[in-house]
Each structure stands twice: as C-alpha cells, then as structure tokens.
Structure 1
Amino acid sequence: MDLTGKVAIVTGSGRGLGLAYARELARQGASVVVNDVDHQHADEAVAAIETDGGKAVAVVAPVGPTETAKKLVSTAVDTFGRLDVLVTNAGVLRDTVLWKMSDDDFDTVVDVHLRGTFTCVREAATYLRGQGEGGRIICIGSPTGQRGNFGQTNYAAVKAGIVGMVRTWALELARAGITANAVIPVAATAMTDTVPFFKQFSDAAANGEPVPFARRVLSFGTPEDVSGLIAFLASDAASEVSGQAVGIGGDRVALWSHPEEVVTAFRDGGWSAEDLAADFDSIFGRSLQKVGQPMPEPPATADDESGTDKSGTDKSGAARSGGASS
C-alpha cells in the first residue's frame, strides 16, 4: 500500500470526495496534483495536504477541454517528475425531469463528466504508455449510472458512459500494465446535502451521533469512507484488478456486476411481433429488471437504527443491496 514516489492527479479535488481522495493518496506517500475551478478551494486543498505532511500542487481549470487535461499531466511531470495515477472525480449537477431539461443542462453535465473523463484519461494514458511503467486509471461513477434516478437523465447518462469507457480502457491498456477501474461511491457531500432524505443523516453524523441505518442499510457515510478504496486501486496491491466497478459507502464495499443476459429464448426462424406478444410475459415476466435505487424507510425510533428486524430483512421491504445516489 506504500505509494511513496508515486504521482497522482485528482480532478475536482478542492473539496468533498475529491479532497478526501487527494488527502488519502498523499497520506499513503503520493505527490498529488489537485484540481478545482475555484482558486480558494484549490489552495486550501494544497494547504491541507501540506499540513498533513504531504506534497501537492494545484491546477485551477475546468475539466472538459483537452487543454486542461494537457495542463494537468504536464504539471504532474514538470513538478514531480512523473505520473502514476489519475482519478477523474470532477463533476457538476443540473437535475430536472426530462421535459424540463434544457440543452445547456444536458450539455454541461456531459462536457464536465463524460468529455472531462475522456480527455483526462486520454492524456494520462498517452503519457503512461510512453513512460512504460504501467499506471492506474480510477474513474468515479455513481449508483445513478448503474440503476437510474428520477430527474437525472444527464447524470445517469454520463455515469453509465464512464463505466462503459472504463471497461473498454481496461482492454486497451492491459498490455501497457495500466489498470482502469470505476468507483461507485455513496457519501455525504454538498450535492447530497441538497436532498433532505440524506441531509438528516449528514447532520446527525456531523453532530457525532451514530447513524448505523445510514451506514449499513443505505451504505451512506463520509467521503473518508470512500478514500481507502481509491488508495488501494492506486497501489501495487491492485495490479491485477482492472475493468471493475466497485461500490463503496459507509460500512459496505461491493462489486457491481457487468450487464449480462439474464434470460434467453430461441425460436426457429426468429421472433415476430406476434410471437413476442404471445410469449414475452411467460419468458421474461419474472425476470424484468428494476430501475432506480431502493430507498428503505428510516427507523421509526432511535433505539432501532438498523432498519431491519431480527431476521435481517428490511422493515420497509426494500432490497438490502440498494444504496443512495451520490
């Protein structure tokens, strides 16, 4: 787990999850390039890492343009002599239902999340291949990209797209010894604090109150709960892990499955519309896939914060595999 001598870039690391990632990578020994669009946040992040005893430098620029990607990589190389790890975390939200979502709402989220991930990974991968010593690409997804979420057409699209790109990059970069993985975090951030359901748990945790329901049933914790996975995937210990989508939050870590066929059926000559109308329900009815994240009800009383009965079943009846959107 020793990252001494390694150099990492973390986009969107001025605060929140990105800052937690950057600080943990530095704590493990890596020198870190911090990135944010806000000078104050970037400077404060660098100061926090240096106060912890680490090394950091800031690049203040919006993620998306190729020019920013080039600046991030050149800053890492010019300042610290090399590059080993890229964490693409930068993102924005423009939430609204489909029929109210503007072109700008959609394009802004696509530009920062999807294009920003692509341009930064392309630049980093090009350098890492030339450096010839392998490397680590860690891209941040979301449960929304895995299951969908009401009011987040743009966000669901980009987060699903990021995981799709990661699987492709794992194939393309394998010969160069570069791994590519997606992390699916669930944690309290400024974004989740805008949702009253989650803010109640964030406020309770900030006040030092135990929140086992949030940590176990919702997999909802702090940014620091996620940072250990980032450091692990950046390390030599994860050299054989690539093309994976790993979820983490609160007390839980989980491996998301890749999309796969769950039921198949064959008919000589193929399937007409009439054939499908007659047989679709009998073939697929019991296997149709759910959408959205299960959201169990919080416990009714303070002395029952687990949200489960003695058998381990959620009292709400919701699947225990569900987590909150981040």
Structure 2
Amino acid sequence: MSLDGKVAIVTGSGRGLGLAYARELARRGAAVVVNDVDEQAAADAVATVQAAGGRAVAVVAPVGPTETAKELVRTAVEHFGRLDILVTNAGVLRDTMLWKMTDDDFDTVIEVHLRGTFTTVREAVRHMRPAGAGGRIICVGSPTGQRGNIGQTNYAAAKAGIVGMVRTWALELARAGITANTVVPVAATAMTATVPYFAAAVRAEADGEPMPAFFRHDLGFGTADDVAGLIAFLGSDAAASVTGQVIGVGGDRLQVWTHPEAALTAHREGGWTYDALVEAWPTTFAGVTQSVGEHFPELPAEFAPATS
C-alpha cells in the first residue's frame, strides 16, 4: 500500500524527527504541509522533500493558537485539495526542577505540546468529518509522559495529556472512520544529544556509522528514520483498524504500551478507614505499588562517557 493521493500535515517538521516524518510520508506518495517557526528550516525542509520528487509547501507559524491550526488545514486544502493525515510533532523544552520552574516555563510547554495538539487536531477533524473520507490522527508522545522524568514537570504533563486526549478521540471519531494514535519515539534528537548515557549512539549517527547493537536492540534507541516507518504505516489504509493505541518505536524495537489498569482490587466491608489501611497496606498493597521513571541498564564499558 502507498500513500498516493493522500495529503498530510506534519507540525514541527523543519528538522529532526518531524523532518524525517515529512520525508517518509512524501516518499510514500503523500503531499505534505511542512510547519516550523524557523522560516529557513521550513524552506529547507520543503526543498528536501521536493528534491526527492515529493510535493510540499510550508506554513511558518508556532502551533498552539487556533489561527495556526486554521492556516495549516487551509493550506493543505488550498494547495492539495484535501487532508487525510495529521502528525502533531511540534514541541519545545523548558526543563528545570519543580521548585525552580516558572509560570512561563510551564505555560510555554503546555501551549505548544498540549494546546497545540488540541487546536490542530480539532481543526483537522472539523475538515475530515464532513469530507467523509476518514482520516488519520497521529500524535507524538514521549516516554516521559508514560513514566515521568526528573526536571520535566511541564513536559510530562503535556505528553501524558496528549495520550488521554488520543484515547478520547479514538472513541469520538470511530464512526467517522478517523483513527487516533500516539507514537512514542526513542531516537537521537537534540534533546537526547545532551544526555551522556546516549553519547556513543548519538556520536555514531553524527559520524554516519551504524549505531551499536546495545542501543538499537537492548534500549530501542535509534535514528529519526527508524521512527518514520511507523508514522507512515499509521497514516495508511493498512492501519485502518489501529486506533486509541500508544506505540513506542526506536532502533530495532517496537512496543505497544498497555493502558492503565488496576494492579490490584480489594474490598473491605465498611470501606477503607485510616486504621484499616495502616494494618493492610504492608501485606496487601505494598507489593503492587508501581515504579516511576525510566530504568536503563548499566552502559557497557566501551560506551561509557569519558571522565575527566
């Protein structure tokens, strides 16, 4: 199956993961609306797609405002006649510990990631539903939204919120033939490039060398192109029955994440009083409490960062 005749919007696609998604969608036959806040990056992305034989136009604007969402959809329809696929990838980081995080740190990340996803999906769906041809909504999540991460209160909230919205949209949009899924990429990006644990993998990619198997297989950490195939698949007719899912991908690994379920259900006649909990917690509940954060294996010695 190809994406011939399909039209896609990819937010935040001037570089990095977003550019990889736009390139793959175009390679599979879709026309693409590229989006970035950097005019030169957007222009370069369009040129890259076109140089490979694809079709693309750019919208230079920050996601979040409804006006940007309207412009993205309007551009897709005016230039290519329809809209079939939306990939909400745009994002920013304002990492700092909770007690140091300012209102602006929090609001900026929520505006771009969470509100930007909401406004863009809402506008896309307002076009897709009456058009009657179905559609594909693909929202980009993060391991931080699934597990939490130190210094990322704002980012964790936004990415977890996106997953909640996607599950709701999968229910609301099913009758219209529109699927909604979350992709959780694990790849060499500007963010992971600053993490010493991934230094050997990031360096290998930068040098044009194969990423070591430890990263690709054991950690599921790869390149932006490793994620792009899943984006194209979810945008295709082959994924018409896939909706409401959180799918992680990176390197050689693909994961379908579970939805939250109760780890234990216990009943007590009269309810769970303070005294009852003090008595029962150590023996009944403590063993099923859940871990938080990501837990990585120890780096093999050959990949350990050099110490001064």
TM range (shorter): over 0.9
Aligned to 2:271: 270
In structure 1, stretches of 5+ residues that fail to align are 306-326
The C-alpha deviation readout for 1:234-257, integer Å capped at 9, x for no partner, is 000000000000000010001000
Which residue type is aligned with residue 141 of structure 1?
G
Deviation of 1:209 after TM superposition, in Å, equals: 4.6
Q: Distance in 1 between matches of 2:102 and 2:195?
A: 22
Aligned to 1:18: 18
Give the 5 Å matches for 1:161-180.
161-180=161-180
Q: Is the 8 A contact 1:64 1:112 kept in 2?
A: yes
- Range with bigger deviation, 274-283 or 136-145: 274-283
The C-alpha deviation readout for 1:23-56, integer Å capped at 9, x for no partner, is 0000000000000000000000000000110000
Q: How many residues align?
A: 303
Deviation of 1:295 after TM superposition, in Å, equals: 1.5
Distance change in 2, residues 1:222/1:139 (3 Å): same
Q: Is the 8 A contact 2:138 2:183 kept in 1?
A: yes
Q: Is the 8 A contact 2:197 2:299 kept in 1?
A: no
RMSD over aligned Cα atoms: 1.1
Are 1:211 and 2:212 matched, yes or no?
yes
Which residue type is aligned with residue 200 of structure 2?
Q
The sequence identity of aligned pairs, in percent, is 68
Q: Is the 8 A contact 2:204 2:211 kept in 1?
A: yes
Which residue type is aligned with residue 169 of structure 1?
W
Question: TM-score when scaled to structure 1?
Answer: 0.91
Q: Distance in 1 between matches of 2:40 and 2:3?
A: 27
Aligned to 1:74: 74
Aligned to 1:289: 290
Aligned to 1:159: 159
Deviation of 1:210 after TM superposition, in Å, equals: 4.1
Secondary structure at 1:86's aligned position in 2?
strand
Give the 5 Å matches for 1:81-230.
81-207=81-207, 208-230=209-231
Question: TM-score when scaled to structure 2?
Answer: 0.97
In structure 2, stretches of 5+ residues that fail to align are none
Which residue type is aligned with residue 187 of structure 1?
A
Which residue type is aligned with residue 192 of structure 2?
T
Which residue type is aligned with residue 258 of structure 2?
S
Q: Distance in 1 between matches of 2:302 and 2:40?
A: 42
Which residue type is aligned with residue 38 of structure 1?
D
Which residue type is aligned with residue 7 of structure 1?
V
Aligned to 2:37: 37
Aligned to 1:64: 64
The C-alpha deviation readout for 1:125-184, integer Å capped at 9, x for no partner, is 110001011000000000000000011000000000000000000000000000000000
